[in-house]
Amino acid sequence: MLELKAAPLTPEAFAPFGDVIDTRTADYFHINAGRTRRYHDLARVETLGEEARTLISIFVSRPVTLPLELDFLERHPLGSQAFMPLHEERFVIVVAPPGDSIDPSEVRAFVTDGRQGVNYRTGTWHAIQSVLEREGEFLVVDRGGEGHNCDEHPLAVRVTLE
């Protein structure tokens, strides 16, 4: 079993896998007569293949217990997938670079601070939604349309927090 300690999520550490979505470190401009800050273009939404379209969904996830034990990672070969917590839910992220297989030495674990979201790049291997402490609601942006867009790869992983 692969043993990982989830490190704090930072844009630099997560860059090989996608984007960290966090308004505290992003630029903005004012709209709506100056009453609204627009944090523009926080993540690159990718939708590949015929008749692809962008989906916006809400996921509601039950909390996991620690240590988090996983037996597979999944990937979406035709599009990115973004998760943004709606109520400052912390969650654990387990990722591996895109590819046809997973090298255990390249698997990483992170934990958000509750205000951060992530956007997994197309093909990035990742764990299922793993919210901590309480049930969580997430705004999810991903790909819909024709084609097979979810692969699973068996991998035994145990994650603890730093």
For the chain, list the domains and their CATH numbers: 2-161 (2.60.120.480)
Please give the C-alpha separations between residue 138 and each of 59, 62, 127, 129, in angstroms, as whole numbers: 5, 12, 15, 10
Per-residue confidence band for 98, with pLDDT thresholds at 50, 70 and 90: very high
Please state, in angstroms and rounded to a whole number, the distance separating the CA atoms of residues 18 and 123.
10
Please state, in angstroms and rounded to a whole number, the distance separating the CA atoms of residues 140 and 45.
11
Please state, in angstroms and rounded to a whole number, the distance separating the CA atoms of residues 39 and 90.
21
What is the pLDDT at residue 83? 97
pLDDT digits 0-9 by tens, 43-91: 999 999 989 999 999 999 999 999 999 999 999 999 999 999 999 999 9
Beta strands in the chain (DSSP E): 2-8, 18-21, 29-31, 36-38, 53-61, 68-75, 81-85, 91-96, 108-111, 117-120, 125-126, 130-131, 136-144, 151-161
Task: Report the chain's mean pLDDT, rounded to a whole number.
Answer: 96
What is the pLDDT at residue 41? 92
pTM of the model: 0.92
Strand, helix or coil for residue 39: coil
What is the pLDDT at residue 88? 97
By percentage, how much of the chain surpasses pLDDT 70? 100
As beta bridge partners, residue 57 has 140
Please state, in angstroms and rounded to a whole number, the distance separating the CA atoms of residues 6 and 92.
7
Q: Provide mean pLDDT across the span 144-152.
A: 95
**pLDDT at 162 > cutoff 90:** no
- Helix, strand and coil percent figures for the chain, each rounded to 5: 5, 50, 45
What is the pLDDT at residue 126? 98
What letter represents residue 79's amino acid?
G
Nearest to 17 by CA among 56, 59, 101, 75: 75
Per-residue confidence band for 114, with pLDDT thresholds at 50, 70 and 90: very high
Residue 54: HSE in the Cβ half-sphere, 13 Å Cα cutoff: 10
Per-residue confidence band for 4, with pLDDT thresholds at 50, 70 and 90: very high
pLDDT digits 0-9 by tens, 22-55: 999 899 999 999 999 999 999 999 999 989 999 9
